[in-house]
A and B are shown apart, each in its own frame.
Chain A
Amino acid sequence: MEFRFKTRTKYLINTVAVLALYFFLMFLQGDVLTRYQSKMLIPVGIYIILAVSLNLAAGFLGQLPLGHAGFMSVGAYTAALFTKNVALPIAVSFPLGLLLGGIVAAIFGILIGLPALRLRGDYLAIITLGFSEIIRVIILNLDFTGGAFGLRGITRATDFTSVFICVVITIAVLHMLIKSRHGRAIIAIRENEIAAEATGIPTTYYKTLGFTVSAFFAGIAGGLYAHYLGILDAGTFGFMKSIEILVMVVLGGMGSMIGSVIAATGLTLLPELLRGFDNYRMVIYSLLLVVVMVFKPSGLMGTYDFSLSRSIESIINSRRRKAAKKEGVSHDSHT
Chain B
Amino acid sequence: MFCPQCGASTPDNAVVCMQCGRNLQAAPPPPLQATPYQGAPLQAPGVILPPGATVPNYLVFAILTTVFCCLPAGIPAIVFAAQVNGKLQAGDLAGAQQASKNAKLWCLISLGLGLAVVVIWGLLVLAGVLTGISHQN
**Same complex:** no
B residues in contact (CB < 8 Å) with A: none
A residues in contact (CB < 8 Å) with B: none
